[in-house]
Structure 1
Amino acid sequence: MSLQALLQWNLSLFLLILSRWTGMIMLAPVFGARGVPGVVKLALAGSLSVIVYPLISAGKPSIPVELLPYIAVVIKEVLVGLVIGFVIYTLTAVLQGAGQLIDFQMGFTMGAAIDPVYGVQSPMMGNFQMILATMLLLVTNSHHFLIAAMVKSYAYIPLNPSNMPSNFSFYTLLVTHVFALAIQLAMPVFGALLVSDVGVGLLSRTVPQLNIFSVVFPVKIIFGFVLLLLSVPFFGESVTHLFNTNMSWVLQLYQGWKQ
């Protein structure tokens, strides 16, 4: 192999590796935050691609020489990274779903704010839980496991994979699990507020002379914040369970893609 062909092969391989990492970083939690500048995201993807490059090049993957087939492989690698990033992103979806349920019960539905992490409208409690979970993931170095999971993808999904991702049933079950986990995470606060609503309703029916609804809303908000404060010590364990579950989903994606 001539020097020119060797340089072309190495540069083509690096661009393919960069494409997959860029797709993942665009959607994954922590890395894909809106507050992170695009240049920083690209630099992070490039740095990780440089680190992973010797591992991938040792396998001598086959790379198309023609331009159009190579562009098709680049697009395919970006899509692979986006699919992996989407599965990792479900961790964020669970937290936002739980926050939406809590906001609905506390009366904050009309007070949705802009999520500083992703720049979209999201519930206030979802913002609180997402920011707290992000800090916990960074403090415990859990983002290193996200990088390790992405590196592991090359063992299951080679460059230019010939097969499709996991079948449709995997994504159906994934959405089902996201809804179930969001309900479980919100249920302590949501259930307690629901029971308080039932109690207020019974009280208003028993003593209709009391204008209970004039004071129930601020009391309900205070009660909700007290419940959230009491649940904070257990939030780290919940995030740990969500993160481990999320990593198991990524592994299921890899195994289904390999078959």
Structure 2
Amino acid sequence: MSLAQILQWNLSLFLLILSRWAGMIILAPVFGARGVPTFIRLSLAGCFTVIVYPLIFATHPTIPSELLPYIAVVMKEIFVGLVIGYVVYLLTAIFQGAGQLIDFQMGFSMASAIDPVYGAQSPLTGNFQMILATMLLLATNAHHYLIAAMVKSYAYIPLNPSKLPIDYLYFAGLVAHVFSLSAQIALPVFGALVVSDIGVGLLMRTVPQFNIFSVVFPVKVIFGLIILILTVPFFGEAVSHLFNIDMTWLLNLYQGWKQ
């Protein structure tokens, strides 16, 4: 091959690797935060591409030389990165769902905050739990495992995969697991507030002259915050367990996508 062809092949390989990393960084927690400038995200994807490039180059992948087939391969790689980023993003969705349940019971559902990670509206408690979980993941270097899992994807899903995941039951199961885990995270506070509502109902039946609505809202807020504070010491273990579950989902995705 001529020097121009060698340069073209290497550039094409670099862009394919960059496409997968860029797709993952768009959706993955921490990396895809809205507060992170686009230039920083692209630079981060480029740095990962430079590091991974020699590993992929050693496998001598087949790259189409025609324009349209090459664009199709680029789209495939972006899709692979988006799917991986989506599975990792489900970890964030669990805490948002738990916060939604807690806020609904505490009466905070009408006052939603702006999510500093993705810039969308999110529940107040879910916002707090998500930020706390992100700090714990960074403090324990869990993002290193995410990078390692992304590198491992090339062992299961080579460049230009011949098939795409069509097992819709797998993704439906992920959604079901997200709802289930969200309910489990919210259960201590949600359950305590339900019990308090039952007590308030019994009090209203016993003393109907008492205007319970003037005190029930602040009492529920204070009671909910106390239960939430009491569960904080166990939050780190819950985040670690959920992260392991999320990595298991990612491994199942790779195995189902294995060529």
Fold match (TM-score > 0.5):
yes
Aligned pairs for 1:123-138 within 5 A? 123-138=123-138
Cα distance in 1 between the residues matched to 2:133 and 2:164: 32
Give me the whole-angstrom Cα distance separating, in 2, the residues matched to 1:214 and 1:43: 54
Identical columns (%): 74
Distance 1:96 1:212 in 2: 31
Q: What is the rounded CA distance, in whole Å, between the counterparts of 2:71 and 2:164 in structure 1?
A: 18
Rounded Cα–Cα distance in structure 2 between residues aligned with 1:178 and 1:237 = 18
Mark the runs of 5 or more structure 1 residues left unpaired by the alignment.
none
Question: Contact conserved, 1:94 with 1:179, CA < 8 A, in 2?
Answer: yes
Deviation of residue 3 (structure 1)?
1.4
Q: Over residues 163-207 of structure 1, what are the superposed CA-to-partner deviations in whole Å (9 max), with x where a residue is unaligned?
A: 111511100110000000000000000000000000110111011
The equivalent of 1:116 in structure 2 is 116
Spell out the pairing of 1:45-194 with structure 2 (5 A cutoff).
45-194=45-194
Match of 2:258 in 1: 258
1:53 and 1:231 map into 2 onto residues whose CA distance is 44
TM-score by length of 1: 0.99
Letter in 2 for 1:34: R
CA offsets 1:113-146 (integer angstroms, 9 cap, x no match): 1101100001000100010001001111100011
* Larger displacement relative to structure 2 (184-193 or 161-170): 161-170
- In the alignment, the residues of structure 2 paired with residue 4 and residue 39 of structure 1 have an alpha-carbon distance, to the nearest angstrom, of 29
Could you tell me which amino acid in structure 2 is paired with residue 5 of structure 1?
A: Q
Corresponding residue for residue 27 of structure 1: 27
- Partner of 1:181, secondary structure, is helix
How many corresponding residue pairs?
259
Moved more, 79-88 or 162-171: 162-171
Q: Which stretch shows the higher mean deviation, 157-166 or 54-63?
A: 157-166
**TM-score normalised by length of structure 2:** 0.99
Preserved contact between residue 112 and residue 122 of structure 1 (Cα < 8 Å): yes
Q: State how far apart, in whole Å, the 1-side matches of 2:165 and 2:251 are.
A: 12
**1:78 partner letter:** I
Q: Residue 110 of structure 2 aligns to a residue in which SS?
A: helix
User: In 2, distance between residues paired with 1:165 and 1:251?
Assistant: 13
Per the alignment, residue 7 of structure 1 pairs with 7
SS in 1 for 2:160: coil
On the 8 A contact 1:166/1:256 being kept in 2, the answer is no
* Superposition pairs of residues 163-242 of structure 1, within 5 angstroms: 163-242=163-242
Aligned alpha-carbon RMSD (Å): 0.7
Q: 1:109 aligns to what SS in structure 2? A: coil
1:217 and 1:180, CA in 2 relative to 1: closer, same or farther beyond 3 A?
Answer: same
Contact in 2 for aligned 1:166/1:253 (Cα 8 Å)? no
Query: Letter of the aligned partner of 1:72 in structure 2?
Result: A
Structure 2, unmatched stretches of 5+, are none
CA deviation string 1:139-162 (max 9, x = no partner):
111000110010000000000000
Q: Does the 8 Å contact 1:26/1:32 carry over to 2? A: yes
